[in-house]
Amino acid sequence: MMQRESAGGNSPMRALTLALAGTLGVGNIVGVASSIALGGYGSVFWMWVSALVAMILKYAEIVLAVIYRRRDRDGQLHGGAYYYIRAFFQSKGFAKFGSVIGGIFALLCLLNTASMGSIIQANAISSAFEGQFGVPLWLTGVAVAVASLFIIMGNSERISAFTEKIVFVMSVGYVIVSLAAILIHKERIIPAFGKIFEDAFNFKSAGFGVMGFMFARSFRMGCMRGLMSNEAGCGTAPAAHATSNTKSPAKQGLLGIFEVFVDTILLCSLTALVIIIAGEGVLSFADNPMLITLNAYATLLGGWAGVYITVSVLLFGFATIVCWAHYGREALGFLCRSRTAGKIFVFAYAALVFFGSVCSVSLAWELADLAIGLMTVINVSVLCLMSGEVKRETEEMIK
């Protein structure tokens, strides 16, 4: 059922911050470092190119999610790629097939929620705190699990109220510190851009640059191993934007474009400039992208940068944990509308956060890579088939 009413739900901007909480992640800190180490400075240029393509996909999936969202008996808005996937096949006379494909997509989303959304993010946080402050893994795990449980026990509006605050704080803080590192050495800015463009047009930089963009965005999405997919197009962010009380699907889609801009054009670019300005010496840590970024900031700002990077990992990682709890619960709601199942999910998710803090995450990466790859194939295929509907909504907005 289509829901265009504006009553209830989150404001369009609050829905955006909920989506940004899932989009922004520790990949903004280490993913760019990896792409530069693998593909050279020119890879940054191809990150920008890839971002422009991703904006189109993000816009389309958000438009469709807002069109095909629904309200539950409590008046809460729910939506996601699984709803418009099912609706598309139903409109073609394949209702059962649509339900099956939508259900498969929801199951994949749950798998990715368990692996990337909780285990991998929690592991990044606990590892950072152990390395920087010597805090035991289990202690960090308990703290993060309890904190996440407190927030995700509420509905989407409670979760988005939290992300509205933390996304602003962590994004502005990261921009300020990064700009400080760059402007302190402002004489190196133009040469840094020169290195990017000089190195951009060779096979190695182009290949790893596109992969690096996806790596940077999908470090928190489960594609660290270079899987050729990215968050824009895999169908996760629509679950956040569908909670918006907007009447215009196309206008909400425009905020999705802004989401990609903030994540890649702004934050990832700032990280890249800091690394390039810091000099080639920091790339000696190519086997550990976290150390590349850490040493780049330390080189330009001093030793306190280690504390800053650790706090950034906490904020970015925790925001992703909270947002993906919403994504997982929405996927579960598509499969089963039982409130008991929803409550069990909340506690199981918190348990996975603790588990991820103290365990090895190699298997979790493999499961996340598989899940997001299949999600992207399904979602992008349907987006292409429904492009006419996206076009009509866009024309309606322009009138």
Q: What is the domain partition of the chain in residue ranges?
A: 12-391
Report how far residue 57's alpha carbon sits from residue 52's, in angstroms, rounded to the nearest whole number: 9
Confidence of residue 303 (pLDDT cuts 50, 70, 90): confident
Segment 296-318 shows an average pLDDT of 86
Judged against a pLDDT cut of 60, whether residue 219 lies above it is answered with no
Report how far residue 58's alpha carbon sits from residue 50's, in angstroms, rounded to the nearest whole number: 12
Report how far residue 10's alpha carbon sits from residue 163's, in angstroms, rounded to the nearest whole number: 12
Can you give the pLDDT at residue 44? 83
51-60, 152-161, 276-285, 385-394 — most confident range: 385-394
The CATH code that applies to domain 12-391 is 1.20.1740.10
- For residue 214, the number of C-alpha atoms closer than 13 Å in the C-beta half-sphere is 24
Report how far residue 327's alpha carbon sits from residue 330's, in angstroms, rounded to the nearest whole number: 5
Tell me the backbone φ, ψ of residue 256, rounded to 5 degrees: -65, -35
Can you give the pLDDT at residue 1? 46
Look at 27 and 313; give whichever has higher pLDDT: 313
The DSSP call for residue 78 is: E
pLDDT, one tens digit per residue, over 368-395 is 778 888 998 899 999 999 999 999 999 9
Give the contacts of 217 (CB within 8 A, at least 6 positions apart).
Answer: 23, 27, 31, 54, 230, 231, 232, 263, 264
Report how far residue 275's alpha carbon sits from residue 34's, in angstroms, rounded to the nearest whole number: 11
CB 209 within 8 A of CB 202: no
155-169, 226-240, 254-268, 357-371 — most confident range: 254-268
Report how far residue 274's alpha carbon sits from residue 267's, in angstroms, rounded to the nearest whole number: 11
Can you give the pLDDT at residue 207? 55
* Measured CA angle at 239 (ends 315, 365), to 5 deg: 55
How is 229-242 classified by DSSP, letter by letter? --STTTT-THHHHT
Residue found under tokens 């004489």: 187
Can you give the pLDDT at residue 130? 84
Tell me the backbone φ, ψ of residue 236, rounded to 5 degrees: -95, -50
CB 293 within 8 A of CB 30: yes
Can you give the pLDDT at residue 41? 84
Report how far residue 231's alpha carbon sits from residue 279's, in angstroms, rounded to the nearest whole number: 30
Can you give the pLDDT at residue 14? 83
